[in-house]
């Protein structure tokens, strides 16, 4: 072998080594943390990009009614890739994850039957997020899916110190008159117009309450799109009301990014 080809091989190997060493240095980090709501053990999930230096905005992620599963954790990693620190809050309790609608509904109903406790459980997650050493506590948002979408709206209705919330195929609970003065966060809701869980009269009630509260709000409505449109695994649950829609998923995720760029620009 001549010297020149050998040199080329060595240079190529060196380049490959640099690429892999860079990947090892700059990658998404994750951390499982345990915390409590009184005597109730909770377990959340952080994601961040360790190649970014200094503090950055933080985003709370609230799971679907199935519990804090792989889908919610994947969304935190996607947010970390966008440059945020993301924290998936545990709304039900450690290891309370299911694929059975009856169990999911029972857990969700237990949380939502008392609005103050519901809001408190979400706020505990927000406080975990704000306490992270890499989070700029003055720049935070929350996103949620299904039950989580309703949860982030309730977080906004509670008057939580947060810049904005994004609901993906949430149930769109209307704010009550007593909650109107509390709403300071900007609101973005992405809704499937063919979602049987959130019929037109419920959407109208939500919009009317936002207008009455003089809130800063947006509603994206996707025609012909069912519930759980962001989750590629939605069909696995065997419910006719659920269907993944790649276009609505992509468009709503981009709308979220535009929304964050606005609320974190100050």
Give the start-to-end residue ranges of the domains of the chain: 27-263
Tracing tokens 């709000």 back to the chain, one arrives at 217
Please name the residues in contact with 180: beta carbons below 8 A apart, sequence gap of 6 or more.
209, 212, 213, 214
Number of residues that make up the chain = 266
Whole-prediction pTM: 0.90
Query: Are 258 and 185 in contact, with CB atoms under 8 Å apart?
Result: no
- 27-263 CATH pick, 3.10.350.10, 3.40.50.1820, 3.30.479.30, 3.40.50.920: 3.40.50.1820
List Cβ neighbours of 165 (8 Å cut-off, separation of 6 or more): 141, 142, 143, 144, 152, 153, 155, 156, 185, 186, 187, 188
Q: In which element (H, E) is residue 32 found? A: strand 28-37
Main-chain dihedrals φ then ψ at residue 233, nearest 5 degrees: -95, 15
pLDDT in tens, the chain (266 residues): 444 444 443 444 444 443 444 444 558 999 999 999 999 999 999 999 999 999 999 999 999 999 999 999 999 999 999 999 999 999 999 999 999 999 999 999 999 999 999 999 999 999 999 999 999 999 999 999 999 999 999 999 999 999 999 999 999 999 999 999 999 999 999 999 999 999 999 999 999 999 999 999 999 999 999 999 999 999 999 999 999 999 999 999 999 999 999 999 97
């Amino acid at each position: 072998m001549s010297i020149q080809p050998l040199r080329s091989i060595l240079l190529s190997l060196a380049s490959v080594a640099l690429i892999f060493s860079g990947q090892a240095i700059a990658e998404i980090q994750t951390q499982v943390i345990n915390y409590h709501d009184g005597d109730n053990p909770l377990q959340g999930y952080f994601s961040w990009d360790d190649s970014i230096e200094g503090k950055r905005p933080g985003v709370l992620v609230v799971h679907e009614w199935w519990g804090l599963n792989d889908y919610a954790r994947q969304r935190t990693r996607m947010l970390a890739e966008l440059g945020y620190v993301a924290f998936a809050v545990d709304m039900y309790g450690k290891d309370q994850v299911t694929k059975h609608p009856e169990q999911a509904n029972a857990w969700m109903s237990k949380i939502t039957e008392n609005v103050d406790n519901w809001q408190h459980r979400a706020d505990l997650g927000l406080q975990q997020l704000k306490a992270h050493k890499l989070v700029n506590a003055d720049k935070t948002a929350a996103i949620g899916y299904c039950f989580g979408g309703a949860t982030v709206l309730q977080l906004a209705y509670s008057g939580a110190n947060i810049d904005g919330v994004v609901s993906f195929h949430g149930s769109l609970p209307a704010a009550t008159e007593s909650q109107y003065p509390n709403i300071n966060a900007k609101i973005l809701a992405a809704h499937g117009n063919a979602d049987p869980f959130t019929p037109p009269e419920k959407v109208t009630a939500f919009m009317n309450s936002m207008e009455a509260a003089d809130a800063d709000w947006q509603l994206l409505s996707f025609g012909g799109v069912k519930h759980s449109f962001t989750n590629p695994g939605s069909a696995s649950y065997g419910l006719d009301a659920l269907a993944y829609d790649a276009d609505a998923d992509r468009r709503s995720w981009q709308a979220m990014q535009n929304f964050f760029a606005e609320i974190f620009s100050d």
